[in-house]
Amino acid sequence: MKKSLLKRVTAAVTAAIMVTAFSSCGKDSSDVPESDDGTTASTTVNASPAVNDEIRDLPSIELVKEIKIGWSLGNTLDAPDAKDVTSETSWGNPVTTKEMITAVKDAGFNIIRFPTTWGNHMDENNNVDEAWMDRVQEVVDYAYSQDMFVILNIHHEEWHDPYYETEEASIEKLTALWKQIGTRFAGYDEKLIFEGLNEPRKRNTALEWNGGDAEGHDVVNHMNAAFVETIRGLGGNNAKRHLMIPAYAASSTPAAMNDLVLPENDDKIIVSVHAYLPYKFALDGDLTQREFTPDEGSASEILDLLDRLKTKYTDNNIAVIIGEFGARAKANTEIRAEWATYYISKAKEAGIPCVWWDNGAFSGMGENFGLLNRKTCTWEFPEIVEGLMKGLDA
């Protein structure tokens, strides 16, 4: 029998306290150091020595079998409200620590997605600020050094909306960015996955979330191709690196997925899909929509999506990861826990790992997807985490 989730989490917190007797689990923005000239500096310069790990040569459909369930460090590295390392805390979450990641691992998660915004950290020549690259690498190493899988992406960017008129400039910047990221992380093995785009879409238009149009689909395909070509062109481990690419907006709609073009003769490609389902229960702002009863048919959206993904992709040896999912808090913790077990059990049957979107949000009327209290390394909703783990064993 496995230890209960609460015992595992308690053990993780105790270990973290013993290792870091003079620091808390999460640090606030006042803990970000200053450089000699008074400006904000990276928490670690040259965050990691050169990594030169051997990468295994296996197709993505086999790799995902090793991935159980994931957790996202949302609203942190992807907060674009500052141009230096203080952006990590600008949306209210504390500075990320290794102890946080240890707590996530000890709870049963074995992959972490690090959403990361880069545009505000790039100069006019598309060069990434070295202090920001150092900090991102440091955070990646918190998970990678603990033998966890990692997804590193570009997130909340405002420069690559999929229009023909801006396609050339977007691809130029995208290529420059991924060349730098790929070069910095060249020596990491297959546990590090690159996700080329997050939710590329025509923001603030009627086409934003409805699956898009032909132009949007076409430009997203071109950006995906440029991303893959750039990483493969770096050689070394990047020639065998597993790469995630989305359809328009990472949409699960048939229209968007049917137009997604995958690279030919490349078995290390993972399709990225975001799926907060059923929508009214999981994502809709109507807080009265808090019921989920699979036996009464409210799970049809989940089942329909997984059937389409299985038929189109996994049955054809094409890997899929649901890179974002979750159910926002609506004073329905017990129901969310039951939903979590159901969702994960069905996704496991389809051979599709899922990554919970944890944005660290717990209060107010917004999209509260928080699970981990990052200041204490304890779980605010242990029942939901237990439900996720039960889904793996179902």
* Spatial contact of 289 and 281, defined as CB atoms under 8 Å apart: yes
Note if 324 is an active site residue. yes
State how beta strands 192-195 and 149-153 pair. Answer: parallel
User: Which residue, 143, 155, 132, 146, is CA-closest to 71?
Assistant: 143
CB 353 within 8 A of CB 346: no
The angle at the Cα of 84, spanning 238 to 128, to the nearest 5 degrees, equals 30
Active-site hit among 138, 190, 324, 386:
324
Concerning whether 199 is annotated as a catalytic residue, the answer is yes
Q: Which of 190, 199, 301, 338 is catalytic?
A: 199
Q: SS in 3 state form for the chain?
A: CCCCHHHHHHHHHHHHHHHCCCCCCCECHHHCCECCCCCECCCCCCCCCCCCCCCCCCCHHHHHHHCCCEEECCCCCCCCCCCCHHHHHCCCCCECCHHHHHHHHHCCCCEEEECCCCHHHECCCCCECHHHHHHHHHHHHHHHCCCCEEEEECCCCCCCCCCHHHHHHHHHHHHHHHHHHHHHCCCCCCCEEEECCCCCCCCCCCCCCCCCCHHHHHHHHHHHHHHHHHHHHCCHHHHCCCEEEECHHHCCCHHHHHCCCCCCCCCCEEEEEECCCCHHHHCCCCCCCCCCCHHHCCCHHHHHHHHHHHHHCHHHCCEEEEEEECCCCCCCHHHHHHHHHHHHHHHHHCCCCEEECCCCCCCCCCCCCCCEECCCCEECCHHHHHHHHHHHHC
How far from chain centre, in Å, is Cα 176?
Answer: 21
Name the residues annotated as catalytic: 199, 324
